Structure 1
Amino acid sequence: MKAVLMTAPGNPEVLQLQDVANPSVSVGETELVVRLRAAGVNPIDTKLRKRGTFYPDQMPAILGCDGAGIVEAVGTGVKKFRVGDEVYFCNGGLGAHQGNYAEYTTVDERFAAHKPTSVSFAEAAAAPLVLITAWEALYERGRLEPGEKVLIHAGAGGVGHVAIQLAKLKGANVCTTVSSQEKADFVKQLGADYPILYKQTDFAQAALDWTGGEGVDLAFDTVGGETFHKTFPAVRIYGDIVTILEPDANTVWKIARNRNLRIGLELMLTPMLQGILEAQQHHADILAECAKYIDAGKLKIHVSQELPLAEAAKAHQLIESGSTTGKIVLVI
């Protein structure tokens, strides 16, 4: 099969399309062989390409956590899927289990969900990592309740644009930071109540003004760095802030402490990295629920660009430019 191999850490050019052996058809009892039709590209892919995977002794590696495709073969113990079923999932791509920049892969049936029927394979492949991240951050770490006010950073980005929609589905009011009027218009279409043009406006003050000086109930940081601690004053006393980035060593915690903020850390890769089967199954359950929302027209995944598998390096370059809206997908 064709696959994009990362032979060593480095620039996007280390990603090369090569011929490799197909995954074995004699799969384990609960495994599926999937003929991939698309693979989502995420910032974690670019980070692993630059610095090396979590398993540097297992090279070369095939990156790509997100995949969507058609079940080609099933193990003897598979109960949930049949050959020909369309599936989507977040599995592999961290350096141990094969990722999805390839024509075929294997995935345990417990970690996959039926693909939403109303969208393309490209849209489905763009969805898993960002859906799970936003779902866990808002609903589980942030304990979002109907009627609450939420600040979502980078609302036009991959995680941000689905976070807006999930927050609205919960009945929350949403303000979100964006870099341009074009992106402000985009997030309004997703349901955002108040886009904040952060290059022109102090976003913390804007959020305070929006909430009558009280602060939002929950802030969701998808940017990291100084944005994290600059968000503290925008959150109400005893409120929540959840970040998907590791807090910087220079983070000033005083305002967070004085406001008694509850800090949540969200890394949806933990179950894969730690081998926590129950949590990986929970991720598949989240995807199954989101598929219902997608097919009901209540949740949309925005794919800004589709590229052929051979142009994985270009996809990484686009993500690293920092100006993309929604998601980039490799079509296989």
Structure 2
Amino acid sequence: MASLLPGPEDGSTMARHVLFDRLGGPEVLTLHTVDAGDPGPGEVRIRVDAIGLNRAEVMFREGVYFEQPAFPARLGYEAAGVVEAVGEDVAHLAVGDPIAVVPSFSLTRYGTYGDHVIVPAHAVLPRPAHVDPVRAAAVWMAYVTAYGPLFETGEVRPGDHVLISAAAGSVGLAAIQVARHIGAIPIATTRGAAKRDRLLEAGAAGVIVTGEEDLPARVREITGGEGVRLAFDPIAGPGVETIAQAIAPGGHLVVYGALDPRPTPLPNAHSYPQVTSRTYTMHSITSDPERLRRAVSFVDAGLALGSFSPVIDRTFDLTEIADAHRYLAEGGHFGKVVVTVDH
């Protein structure tokens, strides 16, 4: 196991953490040498091998997330690595365990952007031997987010059509795999035609290019006029009215993001079929131990069977964190952006 950087005369150990001291673009992210610290009760320190990047972290850095940073601020919901030290009251983990971190904490208290970081023990899961660190860092945000509406609630059944907006992102691609895993039929959307073939290769039964095609008409064509049972949308904004027209009567609209900052209207019962409309966040699952246990079992089973395999678009080194955030924000990626850590 790689050792921590030697500390000053007081004997403390040092680590590299990504911090930012003001809101702004990727350039505000800087790498600092800091005291690694020791885990407190209910915490563990991990040696980080890979970090999964998420749109939520871009929003947190920009100051448009549902939480606001307190400076100097840290970042990072996901990581994979090895347990390095355990605090009091931690019985399910031991030094040397290969692990992954599930997003189940506040970015105002913890962050995974670093080479040795402290996180709450309840957010640390054993990493299966067949899952390497890069793939393990790309699993939990995406698959738990997709798991909730597509499986846990029981609203989607085998044979149902599911509309997945912005499907080329890590959550969208995970949702395609989850839908296939449970026997549903995923229909993907993308703004431009460049990603159409890759989405079909990824398992989409149909792809709608929203910049060129009439979404409700194409959904009716693909579903034989029925519409979709569930629409899973990270964009929000006025576009939900168009999506609602593609949902079958009695179906469901689930909005799990806010890529469009404009107000999101409630679908009007006089204009569209009867649909249930709601917002959703994966934290509703990761903050509930029993729901998280079920989600982990579901995702682990999919990984073991080969039904779930996170798509990695590109990796960056920890020293390139600003470039990695810039690339993620540009929106041209297909799948997960992962940062690796050189020890």
TM norm. shorter chain > 0.5:
yes
Shift of 1:85: 1.2
Note if 1:233 corresponds to 2:245: yes
Note if 1:286 corresponds to 2:295: yes
Q: Deviations over 1:21-80 (max 9, x none)?
A: 10314x31x432211111111111111111166665732111011111101122343332
Task: Tell me which residue corresponds to 2:31.
Answer: 17
Shift of 1:222: 2.0
Tell me, in whole angstroms, the C-alpha distance in 1 between the residues paired with 2:270 and 2:320: 43
Sequence identity percentage: 29
Instruction: Tell me which protein shows more helix as a share of its residues.
Output: 1
Q: 1:57 to 1:43 in 2, by over 3 A?
A: closer
Tell me, in whole angstroms, the C-alpha distance in 2 between the residues paired with 1:244 and 1:54: 13
Q: Deviations over 1:119-153 (max 9, x none)?
A: 32111112211111111132235721111111111
Task: Tell me which residue corresponds to 1:78.
Answer: 90
Tell me, in whole angstroms, the C-alpha distance in 1 between the residues paired with 2:172 and 2:65: 25
- Give 5+ residue unaligned stretches, structure 1: none
Shift of 1:183: 2.2
Q: 1:253 to 1:296 in 2, by over 3 A?
A: closer
One-letter amino acid of the counterpart of residue 90, structure 2: V
Q: 1:261 to 1:54 in 2, by over 3 A?
A: closer
Q: 1:63 to 1:190 in 2, by over 3 A?
A: same
Counting only pairs closer than 5 Å after superposition, residues 132-171 of structure 1 correspond to structure 2 as 132-141=144-153, 143-171=155-183
Structure 1 counterpart of 2:310, from 295, 301, 304: 301
Q: 1:181 to 1:82 in 2, by over 3 A?
A: same
Question: How many equivalent residue pairs?
Answer: 325
Shift of 1:240: 0.7
Q: 1:109 to 1:252 in 2, by over 3 A?
A: closer
Tell me, in whole angstroms, the C-alpha distance in 2 between the residues paired with 1:138 and 1:55: 26
Shift of 1:180: 4.6
Taking structure 1 as the reference length, what is the TM-score of the superposition? 0.89
Task: Tell me which residue corresponds to 1:125.
Answer: 137
Q: 1:224 to 1:265 in 2, by over 3 A?
A: same
Contact 1:13 1:313 in 2 (8 A): yes
Structure 2 counterpart of 1:313, from 302, 322, 341: 322
Shift of 1:264: 2.5
Contact 1:141 1:264 in 2 (8 A): no
Shift of 1:256: 7.6
Task: Tell me which residue corresponds to 2:231.
Answer: 219
